[in-house]
Amino acid sequence: MPNEKIAHLATLILASKRMVVFTGAGVSTESGISDFRSPGGLWERYDPDDFTIRKFLHSMETRKIMWHMMATEFFTDVQPNRAHYALAELDKLGKLDCIITQNVDDLHQRADVPKEKVFELHGNMLRVVCLTCGQRHPMETIKERLKAGEEIPDCKACHGILKPDTVFFGESLPARDLQEATAHSKAADVFLVIGSTLLVYPAAYMPVYAVEAGAKLAIVNLTATPVNEDAEVVINGKAGDIMSQVVEMVKSGIISDRK
């Protein structure tokens, strides 16, 4: 990886006052979480149509499939990786305004990024919500019920339909998180995309909002994105490798400035 590109990104971060980071699946794949769309991903083992809110609500068989997936393979013993810890370190250095994420794995928070700085556009798989009374429950408590033999757990308070607290196809994004993400994007001076192809909307509008408002755009991703031509710097590579190097350069720059 050309050191000049990593140095360029570190320089942008050092100069920033309001850096917003946007993360996608490429940040979490290094923790062992499959990208839904890549070879070997979940869409090769499950029908994406089962993730529509309409089918989930109207088909008990679909709910059975979903809860079986939750019990057997989703986010089992995953841990934050170097990319998550690098972003947490940038926060401790005072260089992170917020993280806008498409991921639903809670790994930014587990890496010690304050939860109020993480806007989850697609929800959080570690929570379950009742669609009738609105109560939320930890996913682990529902998994225990699945392990005990329940196939389609319902809400114990009102017997309503339980659903993973994530955005299914056909659902709107969480209003508060979307509003906050949009406002922070438009106020950013540096907008850093990590591990996203920027193909899923409306989340992918965030870097567009930032650039239109005058922010400098940086991209760290294995493949090209639709906004590469708008970026000050594009680094193709793994998120953990690159961000670890970037953080070390940022720390060195901060130390040098303080001497």
* Active centre residues (catalytic): 122
- For the CA atoms of 17, 20, 26, 29, what is the dihedral angle to 10 degrees? 90
Q: Are strands 123-130 and 162-166 parallel, antiparallel or unpaired?
A: antiparallel
Cis geometry, peptide bond prior to residue 202 (ω within 30 degrees of 0): yes
d(C-alpha 232, C-alpha 193), whole Å:
12
Cα separation values, 42 from 33, 37, 51, 59, 75, Å:
10, 7, 11, 20, 12
Cα separation values, 219 from 136, 143, 196, 250, Å:
35, 37, 9, 17
d(C-alpha 100, C-alpha 180), whole Å:
9
Residue 222 in 3-state DSSP? coil
- Taking Cα atoms as reference points, which of 226, 208, 227, 216 lies closest to residue 192? 216
